[in-house]
Each structure stands twice: as C-alpha cells, then as structure tokens.
Amino acid sequence: MNRKIRLTVNGTARAVEIPTYRTLLDCLRNDLGLTGSKEGCGVGVCGACTVLLDGKMISSCIALAVSADGHEVTTVEGLAADERLHPVQQAFIDAGGFQCGICTPGQVVSAKALLDTIPNPTDAEIREWMVGNLCRCTGYYKIIESIRAAAQRGRV
C-alpha cells in the first residue's frame, strides 16, 4: 500500500514513495531528511510539528503525507534564504525567544504564518494566534517579545 507522492518542499519539487499511513511529519523527517520539525505530543496539541501547507499552518503529526500530494509545504528549514535568517528567526535570537529549543521550529513557523497574515499584530492577536504552541521552559513572554520585535523590524 505504498504511494508515490509529489510535493514542493521549501520551494523544491520532491517525489517520494511512502506507505499510506506515513504522517507528513514522518515523511519530512525520515524520507526527506528535514528534521527541523519535531514530534512532541503526536496529537496536534503542542505545536512542535507545525509546518505550512499551501501557506497555512497545520500540525504535520496528524496530517497524512498522501493528503499533501500535489501541495506546497514549508518547514523551518525553508525560512532562511541565502545564509540569511528569516526576520522571525533573527528576532527569536535577539530577544531570547527560546531556551531548550525543542518547541522553537514550531514557534518560528507559526510566528511567520502570523506575520504573513497580520503584519502588525496586537499583543492579543499574537496570543490568540500562538495558542497551542507549548513551551516546556515556559518562556512565553520572550516568545511574544520576539514576535513583536520581528513585526517592528518588518515595519522599518
């Protein structure tokens, strides 16, 4: 029950043969070698596996890879361009938006999706958008500060 699927991952066309039960997360990590996205809870609650599917953030741990056939996926590996970090990534470094780092790929991808949708979010909008991106170090204030900083950088 294998299936050949074609995806555009971080702008590059990829074809891969996978069993139908492969999650998108496992496909990215194990078949395509993109280990930036993490598995935390495995049930769509924690946000560590967040990727963008056709520009919209989803939980890749509960998405079937076959359902992404023909679609575009963006992972944390796709944010930096030409050795330059994405403004959201740089802001997380500058503002101390992470401690242990396990949730960071999901936080950064979610924050990018936020700023793509709402370039100048209020704090309330940041909080609502980032619901379900859990940080086990409880560094939420710094995460919000990082997103605020990235938005301000976008305005300059």
Partner 1 sequence: MNAFEYAAPRTLDEALSILGEHGDDARVIAGGTALVTMMRQRLVSPGYLVSLREIPGLDRIEAANGDVRIGALATHRAVETSPLVQERIPVLAETFRRVASVRIRNMATVGGALAHADPNQDPPVTLIALGARVALRGAGGKREVPVEDFFRDYYESALGPGEVVTGVMVPRLPASSGAAYVKFLPRTADDYATVAVAATVTLEPDGERCRAARIALGSVSVTPIRAQGAETLVVGQRLGVDLLPAAGEAVKRVVDPLSDHRGSAAYKREMAAVMVGRALTQAWDAARASARGTR
Residues that bind partner 1 (CB under 8 A): 1, 3, 19-21, 23, 42-45, 47, 50, 56-59, 62-64, 66-67, 69, 110, 128-129, 131-133
C-beta of 28: minimal distance to partner 1 in Å? 15
How is 46-79 classified by DSSP, letter by letter? S-TTEEEETTEEEEGGGSBGGGGTT-EEE-GGGT
Measured from the CB atom, the residue of 67 and 99 that comes closer to partner 1 is: 67
Query: For residues 55 and 53, what is the distance between their CA atoms, to the nearest angstrom?
Result: 5
Q: How far is the CB of 43 from partner 1 (least distance, A)?
A: 5
> Which tokens sit at 88?
């959201």
- Kindly tell me which of 81 and 118 has the beta carbon lying closer to partner 1: 118
Q: What are phi and psi of 18, to 5 degrees?
A: -140, 155
Nearest to partner 1 of 69, 90 (CB atom): 69
